[in-house]
Amino acid sequence: MLCAQEPGLGAPAIAAHVKGPDQINLTWPAVADPGYGYLVEIRSASDSRFTAWTELEPIPRAGGYTCDSSIVARGARCNLSDPTGEQVHNPSNRGIPYWVTEAQYADPQDGTAAQFIAWGLKPNTAYSFRVRSYSGNASPVFSAYSNTASGTTSDYAVRYVSPAGKDANDGKGADPAHAWRTLAHGAAAIGCGQVLIVMGGNYPADEIRMTQKCSAAAKAVVLVNPGDTAAIVSQPANSGHALVLAGDYLVVDGLGVNSPGTPYGEYDAEIDGSHNALLNVEFRPPAIPSFKFGVVILGRSNLVYRSYLHDYGSPDATQNPDGGGGFLLAVLGAAENVIWSNHLTRGGHDESLCKSGCRNNRWLNNVMDGGWGQGWIAVSGSDHKAALTSPRESAAMALRMAASGDIGGAMSYFTPAKFPNEKQEDAVREAYLELRLRRVVALAAARQCAAAIQGLTNLEAEDKSLPFTSHGFGSFTKGIRVQYWVGVVESACVDQNAARKRWEVLAKATPEIASTDHAYPYMALAKLDPAEGKIQARRALGFLQRQLGTALPEYQGALLYSQGLLQTIVGRDDDAAASFQAGATAGPPGMVEYLNLEAIRMLDADRQRLEGGTDHRLAWSVMARLGTAT
C-alpha cells in the first residue's frame, strides 16, 4: 500500500525501555512538526500476532449495550439500549496526539518518561518498534519512519493457571497436569520477579488478592496468555471485590471481569498499594443495569492504561434518579496516579471521579462517552491539599469493605502504620468497634457460639499493636444500636432472657431523630412483640417522613437509614432497599454510608436465600430468627 508522505512532518528518534515481562515503553523527543500526532508499529519474529509490522491501537474500542428489562429496581425496568454503540466514540485511526512529548507523560510505576506503553507482550521475547507522525484523518499524510528501536521483555520465572488445572499442581506448565486452577491461588503464590500466565477461558468462583511488596526491577505480574481471552465470571461467597492490589509493583495485564459477585455499592477492583498497574483490562457487569461500581484507586502512583471500563449503573431515570449511582473509576484520597489511554464508557453517575482529597493525579488521552453520566468530576468541597490517606479516610475504606461482607479484609486496614497515634478521632474508634461487633454477630449467626461469646467478652479489649484502643470503647458500646446487636448475640448463644431484658430497656429509649440509633427502640420492640412493633413503626414512619422533607443535607443519610429500618419492620423491603440506597448515596462517608450499605447487603442476602440461593446467614430474616432461637 502506497501512502503519501509530507515533507514537513518530522520523524521522531525513538528508544525502547523494557519494564517487565509484558511491557516495553517507548520514548522520543518532540519533533518540529508532528502534525496530528504519532502512529506506533510493532514487529516480532517470535510473536505470531506481530510477524509483520502492525499498528498498535492505543484506545480500546467500545461497543453498544442492551438493558435487561427483567431487572427491577426502584419499581422500574430499564428499556433504554444502544445495541450498535451510536453514542460511543471510537477514534477513526490509531494515532496518539502530538502532545505526548510533554513532561507530564511518565509511567508512575517507576517515574520515568514514556510517550507510549506497549502492553500484553510475551515474556523473554524480542520486539522491534517504529514510529511516524501523521496529519489528516480521511486522507492522511505521513512522515518518514523513525529509527527502529528494539528490546527483549524480561525473563521472569513463569507459572501458569488454567481452567483445566488443579491448585494442587506445581504451576510450572500450561497443561492440566501442571497448571494451577484458580487465579486466587496463582496470584497469591507468585513472588516478585515471577509472572503468572493466565490461559484463556472463564474463571468461575474466583478472585485475585495480591499483597506482594515488590520493586520496579522485579514485579509480580498476572498476564493473560498473549492472544487469549480470560475473565473472572463469578466470585466466591462474600467476596467484596473481584480484584484487590494491596501491595507494590503488581501488574494485571489483559484480564476481564464480568462477575455478578461484587455486592451493591462496592467496586469490582480496588487498588490500595503503590506503583501497581492495570493494563488492557476490561471490567464490566454481566448485566445492565447494575448497582456496583468499576475500579477504585486508594493508593499512590498507580497506572490504569489502555483499559475498557463500562456499563456500571443504569441509564433509566427512575432506577438511577438524579444520576446518583454508577462509577466506572474513582480516585479517592489518592495521589500521583495516572489514568491513560482508556475507554471509559457509560457510567450512571460519571466516567471518572476525583474525591476525598484526590490530588496530583493525571488523566491522559482517555475517551469518556456513552451518554449516561458526566465525563470527569472533581467533587466540590474536596480538600485537594489533604493528606494522601488520613486515619478517618482509612476507617471509611475499612467500613466499605465490611459492608461487602469481608470483615477480615476490613480489619486488615487497621495497621500500626495507618493508625500510629494513641489519640484518634471518634470516627476511627467507632469504626474499629463496629468491625469487632460485626465479627461477633457473624460468629453467632454461624452458631460458632464459643467464639462469639469470647468475642463479646473482648469487645472492648485493647489491641497492643493499635495505641488508640488502650482507652476502651465505653461511649460506643453503650449506644442503642450496639446494645441491640449484643442482644442478638446473647439470644443466639448466651441467654434469651438476658437478651429480652436488654431489648425491654432499649424499647423505652428515645434517641434523637437524626441519630442512626433512632429506629432501634422499634427494632427491639419488634423482637419482643412483633405485632406491636409494626404498629409503632408505622406511626414512627409517618413522623420521620415529614422530617425528611425539611432536613438539612448532612442529616439525610441517617434519616434514610432509620426510615429503611422502620420499613423492614413493617414488611416493606423494596421501599427499605430504596431508602438504604439513597442513604448510602447521601452519606457522609464513614458510619452513615456503611450502615446503609450493610443494610442493603443484608436485604439482598435475604432475597437470595428466599429465592433458593446460598444461605447468607447475616440476612434480616436470619437475624430475626436469632432473636427468638431456642
Q: State the pLDDT at residue 292.
A: 87
Q: State the pLDDT at residue 613.
A: 45
Show the cell assigned to 520.
432501634
pLDDT at 291 over 90: no
> Per-residue confidence at 566, pLDDT binned at 50, 70, 90?
very high
> Per-residue confidence at 611, pLDDT binned at 50, 70, 90?
low
Would you list the DSSP string of 547-600?
A: HHTT--HHHHHHHHHHHHHHHHHTT-HHHHHHHHHHHHHH--TTHHHHHHHHHH
| Cβ–Cβ under 8 Å, residues 575 and 537 | no
Show the cell assigned to 299.
493508593
> Per-residue confidence at 6, pLDDT binned at 50, 70, 90?
low
pLDDT at 619 over 60: no
Q: State the pLDDT at residue 605.
A: 72
Each residue's pLDDT tens digit, 135-177: 999 899 999 999 999 999 999 999 999 999 999 999 999 999 9
Would you list the DSSP string of 371-388?
A: SSSEEEEE-TT--TTS-S
Each residue's pLDDT tens digit, 55-70: 999 999 999 999 999 9
Q: State the pLDDT at residue 5.
A: 54
| Cβ–Cβ under 8 Å, residues 206 and 167 | no
360 conformational bin, left if phi > 0, alpha if psi -120 to 50, beta if neither: left
d(CA 326, CA 393): 21
pLDDT at 627 over 70: no
d(CA 492, CA 624): 10
Selection from 119-123, 298-302, 447-451, 585-589 with the highest mean pLDDT? 119-123
Each residue's pLDDT tens digit, 479-514: 999 999 999 999 999 889 999 999 999 999 999 988
Q: State the pLDDT at residue 412.
A: 66
Each residue's pLDDT tens digit, 100-123: 999 999 999 999 999 999 999 999
d(CA 511, CA 565): 15
pLDDT at 625 over 50: no
What are the two backbone dihedrals, phi and then psi, of residue 352, each rounded to the nearest 5 degrees?
Answer: -150, 140
Q: State the pLDDT at residue 387.
A: 37
> Per-residue confidence at 628, pLDDT binned at 50, 70, 90?
very low
C-alpha distances in Å from residue 561, one per residue of 153, 214, 390, 567: 53, 42, 26, 10
Checking 172-181 for CB contacts under 8 A at 24+ apart, the result is 174/199, 174/225
| Cβ–Cβ under 8 Å, residues 187 and 208 | yes
| Cβ–Cβ under 8 Å, residues 240 and 401 | yes
Amino acid found at 538: R
Each residue's pLDDT tens digit, 381-397: 343 333 335 788 888 88
Q: Which of 97-133 are b and which e, b meaning 16 or more Cβ less than 10 Å from the residue's Cβ?
A: ebebbeeebbbbbbeebbbbbbbbbbbebebbbbbbb
Each residue's pLDDT tens digit, 580-589: 989 888 888 8
Write down the pTM of the prediction: 0.66
Q: State the pLDDT at residue 212.
A: 96
Q: 107 Cβ partners below 8 Å, 6+ apart?
A: 19, 25, 113, 114, 117, 303, 338
Residue 383: other Cβ atoms inside 10 A: 12
Residue 239 DSSP symbol: -
Amino acid found at 98: Y
